[in-house]
Amino acid sequence: MLLRNHPFQLLLNYQNVFRIITRKYARSGYFSFEECDEIMQHINEKLFSRIEIIMEQYDGRVLVRTYLSAICRNIIKEYVRKVRRRKRLLIENVVMEQEYYFPGNMEMLFREECRRLDRVMILLGKNKAKMWLLMKLTFRIKIELNDFLSVSDFASEAIGEDIIYRLNTDLSLKDKDLYLLAFPLFQQTESRISNPDTLRKWFRQKLTEVIALMNGMPQRAYYTEETMQILVEKYCSMTETGAYSPLSDCRYSQAEIKHCYNIIKGVRKKSK
């Protein structure tokens, strides 16, 4: 009905699906995460310009979600082919183009922010591994068995390879589905986690506290959930490539611990 009567509203409703597909291609190495916003804009421009053709060609034999996802993937592949063809022509014609790179101070800034994130995560104590797992799960960052084993040595008994594969590849999964698949691990290790929604609420509360600590008091940064996701993705990417080495330990003074506690206390009071 939306496709027939309000096609542009339909495309707006599927923005999150297009974003997940775009990030999947970024994780596969077709382009960097920094290019995702630009590619999302390209996808929307193409879809809006082709909406009348899409309305004519859709015959109802598959779900609208499946149909639009397939078009989105084709647009991304077309975009990647054009970029690669342009680079090949530049090489063939010996046209040297300055390679895009982050200036040294920007790389230093990322490492400093990663270091700050490490210090904040260390404050979570025994919940640190659990929080890392749930951030990667919620932000759709590739998850491995070791992420579950860091939470429990018996994770392989509750979470099989088939579940991990689905978490990493099934783009149709919603947040509630992700928590449902991961729930058996926490059901096995934590009696107070009674259902997937309890797990989700715990994560949301802790994420709010982490963001507040990253922003500081007085405020020195302006992290939101979206920008925190970007930082976590960058953190995982830099760690995987060896560009950043996580802090294995961190000592805090009593004054620092009290300061962090006051920030968290203020966040909890606001949420109530």
Q: Is the pLDDT of residue 261 over 70?
A: no
Mean pLDDT of 161-177: 87
Mean pLDDT taken over the chain:
82
> Which residue ranges does the chain devote to CATH 1.10.1740?
2-92
User: Domain 2-92 has what CATH class?
Assistant: mainly alpha
- Copy the structure tokens of residue 241: 């490539």
Residue 33 has pLDDT above 90, yes or no: no
- Give the C-alpha separation, 34 to 234, whole Å: 9
Q: Give the mean model confidence (pLDDT) for residues 255-265.
A: 65
In sequence order, what are the residues at sequence separation of 6 or more whose Cβ sits closer than 8 angstroms to the Cβ of residue 168? 142, 143
Query: CA angle, corner 202, sides to 137 and 191, nearest 5?
Result: 100
Question: What is the reported pLDDT for 204?
Answer: 92
pLDDT confidence bin for 207, thresholds 50/70/90: very high
Q: Which amino acid is at 166?
A: R
pLDDT score for 7: 82
Confidence band of 258 (pLDDT split at 50, 70, 90):
low
pLDDT (0 to 100) of residue 78? 87
As a whole number of angstroms, the distance between CA 247 and CA 34 comes to 25
CA distances to 18, 19, 205 from 69, rounded to whole Å, are 7, 10, 32
Residue 99's SS3 state is: coil
Q: Residues of the chain with pLDDT > 90: what percent?
A: 17
The torsion of the CA quartet 258, 263, 264, 267, rounded to 10 degrees, works out to 160
Cα(208)–Cα(259) distance, rounded to whole angstroms? 16
How many CB atoms sit inside 10 A of residue 14's CB? 18
156: Cβ–Cβ under 8 A, 6 or more apart, which residues? 145, 148, 149
148 or 260, which is more confident: 148
93-137 residue pLDDT tens: 443 334 434 444 567 778 888 988 998 888 888 889 999 999 999
The rounded distance, in Å, linking the Cα atoms of 130 and 139 is: 14
- At residue 208 the predicted structure's pLDDT band, cuts being 50, 70 and 90, is very high
Q: Is the pLDDT of residue 256 over 50?
A: yes
